[in-house]
């Protein structure tokens, strides 16, 4: 329902709000050319509460029930911006200043907010108004930084729009309002100049510009005069000169009805357009009347419920409609021009005409009155020639006699039936009087319907008391009562040929009654709601009925069957008007002519095919709608190597449309789909050029599963755009901005066939994909959007795993057309990634696109030739966080745990064996888990080298334990020539060889003592089995041990267990022993236990340093690879 109306600055368009849309009405032809928003035609959507049109004829700002402001470019039907309101309640008024780039909104919370339209932010919140904002406007002079508003406190408030401070308050009354006065204010002094009583409630007003040409006498003589146009409850536009207080003009030709009672509106808006020098009146019943100096136009808006409808004029040239209005709308059926018949003071309820006088119309309404209207045969103007008020309640139905047009009957809510007389000769020039012939109290409740028999002898009435009654038309004597309906009777009708009466009821049934026996003959059941109206058709053989659910049903009286159901109405159908015309013979003649013409066309088609005139034959086959015949002709043209594009260009638009329908039919059969798809659009230059298809990809998600399957999933939307001049509609429908459609629209037009070549189960986009959206602009540019979810193959190289960088392509290729017919191009900004795009295992380093051609031969199960190809390459680097936590750190910890065994005692075999064995098993399990998640490859991966190194460390710990334990269990000491790593390990591995070398270096005397001294010395040694630290060999305390000088080897290492050069610092002993042979010949000895502990301690240090060096080298290699990855990025790639 239209509530708000605005006028464009150029005066060519009027904007009307309807639920959640704004309709754009052309003033020139009175047609709706476009809509802003999505129409739901109900109040359940996001209803528009208010809107404003900008002065520059570019934008419209709407405010919606959802609390959103929306900025529209109405000329292209495009939403530019939307933002949220911060008012505490709904917004009821909007003001817009284009020069200031500001918008003001006034709400029910009593506040006015200023908005900066550049940033769509609120700059000021202006308060101090009580109640709902009723008026809101910027000062028309841009130098005056003021905005005015008024609320329920009968004051006009003015604020400075820069500072937000109130500067003006005009107290006493509103400027033009419902206090029945107009006030002229002086803004400088904030005082009223004149208070002018107008004696009616004013709904809208405007100050007439100085250069306006309106019907005001001497308007241009006084330059200081202030003329104001105002309209209110009287439905008349008046012009006042405010300084003198005179009414200088009052409209005389107003067709707006006066308000029924005080406080009820008649006019809701008064608009002025300077460009056209016209003003428009918007009435309370949603009509728009445009006035100029001499004439006026009016546009019928929302008509609400249609209560009755009849045909009027010769051959039903006009149609009279009664709506929820005081006025009757008279439409010319050919031109749909409308005229308002004013006279009733309340809603018109019923209309009636008679076949005897097609220009006579009688109406009745809620004002208890009856009016007789007569149409002039020459001018088609309708005038009221008689009126009367005799009923005491609303007149619900009226009926004129069908045979003579000498009387009519009326029924009312006062339960009375009245019979009225009509003059014999009514004419357009004279008025006549209406007299009542008879009156009777017909029913106990409201009477809904009255009808007169075709011979004018009987009258029937239907009432809410569930009965229908039969009356004599001469004296209104009751002839019978029809009882049987379970609820009120809505409609009664006499049959045009039989003595039967038809009644409809709120019990969802229709009944046929015998007029002679007053018995029910038949009952028609099928409606699911109240049957409100019914009429006889086909000379009384059929019935058409209308119900409260909006359905019309056609009944066969003989069989009592419902022949068909018509579904177009959305709510109650109150009225039916039927013009029955028997066209059986005409249809037979027409069918015979069409059959004869068809035979001639078929013969002509056969002659053309025989003469090999394929183009002419194609036109006739298309005209005859023969898809199979058209297919044969197209195949013949292709076999002859004739350009199909040239043939199509010779066809008319209607033939091309039929050819497209045939192509759709061919697509159903796979054998014929190739021919259907060959009808491609012509190129941009001429029909022989290939069509250029521009592609853009929107990447939503990338899911990597490459480690095991060598594949990755991509969820994306592809957008193909191309020009198809055959679909251009700018000249046909210039006001349409775009055509949208889904799968059905896609099936009706040519679309490119593209597939993903590196995806195993790819559907061909253009034929097999379901999620498709097609949009066509007026120039014929087609945009095809298709959603795609593909699993793509990506060949990985895992030599550097997990430090690898992979390049994975996404390749599109043309399926049907080679480069002669279609070429794929990347559009500007070809790849758009979603903001929340995130990969779990990889990170996207870069992406780039490429265009190429792929050559196929017939042996490759593909059409032969060069086919256009597009590709997207994703460069992915593996994220290390996962592998550090799940792979590297656990393996490092396992190796470190194995190192603990070096601190355990050499003789602690059980814990050292358990520790070594468990670490090896745990590490093997971890390695197996990682390797199982990777594909089997023939080359060595970086991860395998890491596994091998860790395994060597773990195995070396076990070998070291076995070696140390073996040495620890030996009994004999080991002589050492020098104390360093080389001689300790050499003497430990070959103890016998060390002893032989010692024996060679001794003298004969010393040999005699041989090993006795050594053995004696051994007998006095301390037991080191319980010590955890290696010490120098201890000699007996009675022996004076001299300083033994050990030659230092160049590669001798400083070891804890190699301290053999001893200077005695202990206190002198009373008893001194002689030096041993080993000491005298620069030899020393170590026990096996000392050697074992020395090896353990050396292992702790050596293993730690080797492992740390290995880790450091690994980190350095990783950093080098990452730097190399960044350096390898080409600068010309995206």
SS3 letters across 275-310: CCCEEEEEECCCEEEEECCCCEEEEECCCCCEEEEE
Residue 1124 has what pLDDT?
47
Q: Cα separation of 920 and 600, whole Å? A: 96
Taking the chain, what is the end-to-end CA distance rounded to the nearest angstrom?
A: 53
Q: Cα separation of 1082 and 1045, whole Å? A: 7
Pair 633, 595: CB distance under 8 Å: no
* Omega prior to 802 cis, within 30 of 0: yes
Residue 1074 has what pLDDT?
45
Please determine, for residue 694, whether its predicted confidence score (pLDDT) is greater than 80: yes
- Which DSSP letter does residue 326 get? S
Q: Report how far apart, in Å, the C-alpha atoms of 284 and of each of 5, 93, 173, 268, 468 are.
A: 12, 19, 25, 6, 38
Average of per-residue pLDDT across 548-570: 91
Supply 313's token pair: 């004029």
Enumerate residues 6+ apart whose C-beta is below 8 A from 755.
762, 763, 764, 765, 812, 813, 815
What size, in residues, is the chain? 1134
Pair 116, 81: CB distance under 8 Å: no
Per-residue confidence band for 289, with pLDDT thresholds at 50, 70 and 90: confident
Average of per-residue pLDDT across 359-388: 90
| Closest C-alpha among 642, 652, 599, 644 to residue 622 | 652
Q: Cα separation of 1015 and 1009, whole Å? A: 10
Please determine, for residue 1014, whether its predicted confidence score (pLDDT) is greater than 60: no
Average of per-residue pLDDT across 464-490: 94
Q: Cα separation of 830 and 718, whole Å? A: 10
Please determine, for residue 1029, whether its predicted confidence score (pLDDT) is greater than 80: no
Pair 544, 533: CB distance under 8 Å: no
Residue 584 has what pLDDT?
78
Please tell me the class of the 691-878 domain.
mainly beta
- Which DSSP letter does residue 884 get? I
Please tell me the class of the 303-441 domain.
mainly beta
pLDDT tens per residue across span 244-264: 777 777 776 666 767 666 556
Please determine, for residue 443, whether its predicted confidence score (pLDDT) is greater than 70: yes
Please determine, for residue 318, whether its predicted confidence score (pLDDT) is greater than 60: yes
**What average pLDDT does the chain have?**
77
Residue 315 has what pLDDT?
83
pLDDT tens per residue across span 196-245: 887 787 878 888 877 776 665 544 456 677 888 888 877 788 888 887 77
45-54, 56-65, 922-931: the lowest-pLDDT one: 922-931
- Dihedral sign computed on CA atoms, order 737, 743, 746, 751: positive
- Which DSSP letter does residue 885 get? I
Q: Cα separation of 483 and 486, whole Å? A: 9
Q: Cα separation of 502 and 543, whole Å? A: 9
310-314, 536-540, 1068-1072: the lowest-pLDDT one: 1068-1072
pLDDT tens per residue across span 834-879: 876 767 677 787 888 887 767 665 444 455 578 888 888 888 887 7
- Coil, strand, or helix at residue 875? strand
SS3 letters across 1047-1109: CCCCCCCCCHHHCCCCCCCCCCCCCCCCCCHHHHCCCEEECHHHHHHHHHHHHHHHHHHHHHH
| Closest C-alpha among 322, 358, 357 to residue 341 | 322
Q: Cα separation of 658 and 925, whole Å? A: 71
Residue 773 has what pLDDT?
84
Instruction: Give the phi and the psi of residue 271 in degrees, each rounded to 5.
Output: -115, 150
This prediction has a pTM of 0.45
| Closest C-alpha among 807, 834, 814 to residue 712 | 807
Pair 239, 217: CB distance under 8 Å: no
Supply 694's token pair: 């521009």
| Closest C-alpha among 447, 481, 485 to residue 464 | 447
Half-sphere exposure of 838 (CA within 13 A, CB side): 2
- Count Cβ atoms below 10 Å from residue 860 Cβ, excluding itself: 9
Supply 649's token pair: 């260009």
| Closest C-alpha among 746, 768, 745, 738 to residue 755 | 768
Kindly give the pairing relationship between strand 338-341 and strand 328-332: antiparallel
Q: Report how far apart, in Å, the C-alpha atoms of 436 and of each of 417, 424, 471, 618 are.
A: 11, 15, 16, 72
Please determine, for residue 1030, whether its predicted confidence score (pLDDT) is greater than 60: no
pLDDT tens per residue across span 1047-1066: 334 333 333 333 333 343 34
Angle of CA points 452, 453, 454, to nearest 5°:
120
Q: Cα separation of 1094 and 1055, whole Å? A: 8
pLDDT tens per residue across span 1115-1128: 445 445 444 444 44
Residue 864 has what pLDDT?
59
Surface-to-core class of residue 1120, CB atoms within 10 Å of its CB (0-12 exposed, 13-18 middle, 19+ buried): exposed
For the chain, the farthest-separated pair of C-alpha atoms sits apart, in whole angstroms, at 177
95-109, 438-452, 474-488, 685-699: the lowest-pLDDT one: 685-699
Q: Which of 133-142, 709-718, 922-931 has the highest mean predicted lDDT (pLDDT)?
A: 133-142
Average of per-residue pLDDT across 162-169: 88
The H or E element that residue 755 is part of is strand 754-756
- Count Cβ atoms below 10 Å from residue 68 Cβ, excluding itself: 13
């Amino acid at each position: 329902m239209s509530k708000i109306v605005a006028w464009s600055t150029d005066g060519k368009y009027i904007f009307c709000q309807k639920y959640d849309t704004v309709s754009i009405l052309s003033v020139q032809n009175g047609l709706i050319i476009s809509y802003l928003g999505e129409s739901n035609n109900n109040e359940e959507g996001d209803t528009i509460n208010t809107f404003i049109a900008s002065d520059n004829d570019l934008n419209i700002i709407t405010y919606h029930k959802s609390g959103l402001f929306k900025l529209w470019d109405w000329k292209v039907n495009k939403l530019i911006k939307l933002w949220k309101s911060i008012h505490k309640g709904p917004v009821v008024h909007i003001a817009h200043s284009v020069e200031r780039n500001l918008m003001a909104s006034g709400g029910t919370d009593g506040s006015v907010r200023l908005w900066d339209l550049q940033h769509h932010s609120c700059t000021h919140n202006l308060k101090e108004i009580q109640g709902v904002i009723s008026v809101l406007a910027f000062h028309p002079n841009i130098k005056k930084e003021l905005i005015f508003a008024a609320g329920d406190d009968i004051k006009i408030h003015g604020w400075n729009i820069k500072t937000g401070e109130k500067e003006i308050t005009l107290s006493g009354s509103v400027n033009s309002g419902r206090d029945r006065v107009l006030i002229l204010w002086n803004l400088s002094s904030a005082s009223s100049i004149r208070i002018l009583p107008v004696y009616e409630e004013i709904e809208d007003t405007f100050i007439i510009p100085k250069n306006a040409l309106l019907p005001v006498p001497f308007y241009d003589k006084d330059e200081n005069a202030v003329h104001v146009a105002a309209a209110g409850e009287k439905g008349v536009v008046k012009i006042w000169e405010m300084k003198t207080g005179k009414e200088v003009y009052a409209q005389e030709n107003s067709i707006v009805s006066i308000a029924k009672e005080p406080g009820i509106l008649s006019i809701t808006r008064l608009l002025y357009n300077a460009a056209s020098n016209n003003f428009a009146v918007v009435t309370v019943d949603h009509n728009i009347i445009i006035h100029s100096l001499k004439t006026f136009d009016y546009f019928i808006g929302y008509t609400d419920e249609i209560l009755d409808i009849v045909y009027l004029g010769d051959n039903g040239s006009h149609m009279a409609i009664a709506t929820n209005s005081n006025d009757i709308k008279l439409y010319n059926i050919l031109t749909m021009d409308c005229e308002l018949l004013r006279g009733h003071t309340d809603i018109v309820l019923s209309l009636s005409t008679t076949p005897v006088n097609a220009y006579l119309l009688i109406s009745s309404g809620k004002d208890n009155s009856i009016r007789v209207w007569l149409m002039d045969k020459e001018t088609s103007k309708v005038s009221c020639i008689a009126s009367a008020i005799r009923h005491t309640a609303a007149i619900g139905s009226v009926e004129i006699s069908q045979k003579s047009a000498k009387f009519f009957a009326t029924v009312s809510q006062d339960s009375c039936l009245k019979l009225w007389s009509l003059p014999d000769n009514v004419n357009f020039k004279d008025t006549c009087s209406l007299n009542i012939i008879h009156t009777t109290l017909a029913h106990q409740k409201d009477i809904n319907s009255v009808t007169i028999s075709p011979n004018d002898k009987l009258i029937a009435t239907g009432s809410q008391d569930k009965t229908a009654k039969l009356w004599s038309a001469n004296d209104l004597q009751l002839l019978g009562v029809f009882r049987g309906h379970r609820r009120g009777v809505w409609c009664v009708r006499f049959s045009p040929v039989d003595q039967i009466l038809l009644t409809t009821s709120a019990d969802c049934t229709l009944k046929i009654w015998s007029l002679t026996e007053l018995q029910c003959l038949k009952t028609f059941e099928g409606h699911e709601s109240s049957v409100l109206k019914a009429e006889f058709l086909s000379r009384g053989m059929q019935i058409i009925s209308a119900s409260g659910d909006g359905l019309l049903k056609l009944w066969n009286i003989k069989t009592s069957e419902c022949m068909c159901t018509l579904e177009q109405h959305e709510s109650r159908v109150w009225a039916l008007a039927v013009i029955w015309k028997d066209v059986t013979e005409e249809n037979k003649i027409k069918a015979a002519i069409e059959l004869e013409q068809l035979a001639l066309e078929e013969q002509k088609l056969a002659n053309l095919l025989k003469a090999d005139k394929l183009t002419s034959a194609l036109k006739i086959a298309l005209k005859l709608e023969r898809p199979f015949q058209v297919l044969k002709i197209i195949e013949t043209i292709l076999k002859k190597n004739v350009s199909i594009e040239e043939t199509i260009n010779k066809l008319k638009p209607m033939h091309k449309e039929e050819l497209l329908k045939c192509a759709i039919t061919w697509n159903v059969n796979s054998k014929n789909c190739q021919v259907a798809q060959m009808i491609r659009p012509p190129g941009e230059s001429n029909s022989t050029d290939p069509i250029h298809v521009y592609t853009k990809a929107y990447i939503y998600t990338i899911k990597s599963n490459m480690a095991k399957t060598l594949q990755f999933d991509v969820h994306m939307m592809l957008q193909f755009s191309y020009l198809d001049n055959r679909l251009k509609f700018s000249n046909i429908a210039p006001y349409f901005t775009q055509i949208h459609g889904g799968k059905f629209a896609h099936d009706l037009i040519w679309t490119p066939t593209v597939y993903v070549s590196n995806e195993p189960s790819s559907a061909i986009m253009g034929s097999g994909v379901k999620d498709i959206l097609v949009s066509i602009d007026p120039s014929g540019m087609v945009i095809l959007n298709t959603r795609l979810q593909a699993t793509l193959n990506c060949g990985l190289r895992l030599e550097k795993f997990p430090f690898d960088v992979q390049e994975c392509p996404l390749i599109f290729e043309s399926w049907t057309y080679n480069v002669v017919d279609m070429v794929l191009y990347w559009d500007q900004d070809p790849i758009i990634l979603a903001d929340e795009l995130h990969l779990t295992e990889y990170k996207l380093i870069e992406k780039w696109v490429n265009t190429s051609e792929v050559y196929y031969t017939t042996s490759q199960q593909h059409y032969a030739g060069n086919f256009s190809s597009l590709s997207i390459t994703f460069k992915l680097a593996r994220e290390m966080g996962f592998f550090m936590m799940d792979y590297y750190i656990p393996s490092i910890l396992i190796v470190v745990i194995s190192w603990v065994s070096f601190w355990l005692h050499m003789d602690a075999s059980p814990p050292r064996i358990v520790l070594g064995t468990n670490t090896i098993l745990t590490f093997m399990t971890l390695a197996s888990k990682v390797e199982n998640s990777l594909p089997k490859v023939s080359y060595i991966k970086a991860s395998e080298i890491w596994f091998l190194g860790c395994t060597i460390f773990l195995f070396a710990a076990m070998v070291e334990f076995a070696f140390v334990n073996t040495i620890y269990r030996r009994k004999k000491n080991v002589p050492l020539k020098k104390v360093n790593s080389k001689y300790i390990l050499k003497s430990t591995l070959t103890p016998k060889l060390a002893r032989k070398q010692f024996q060679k270096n001794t003298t004969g005397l010393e040999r005699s003592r041989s090993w006795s001294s050594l053995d004696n010395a051994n007998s006095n040694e301390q037991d080191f089995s319980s010590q955890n630290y290696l010490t120098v060999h201890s000699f007996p305390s009675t022996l004076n041990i001299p300083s033994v000088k050990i030659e230092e080897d160049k590669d001798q290492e400083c070891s804890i267990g190699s301290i053999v050069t001893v200077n005695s610092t202990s206190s002198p002993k009373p008893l001194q022993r002689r030096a041993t042979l080993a000491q005298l010949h620069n030899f020393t000895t170590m026990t096996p236990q000392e050697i074992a502990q020395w090896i353990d301690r050396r292992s702790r240090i050596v293993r730690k340093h080797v492992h740390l060096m290995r880790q450091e080298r690994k980190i350095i290699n990783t950093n080098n690879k990452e730097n190399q990855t960044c350096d390898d990025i080409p600068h010309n790639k995206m």
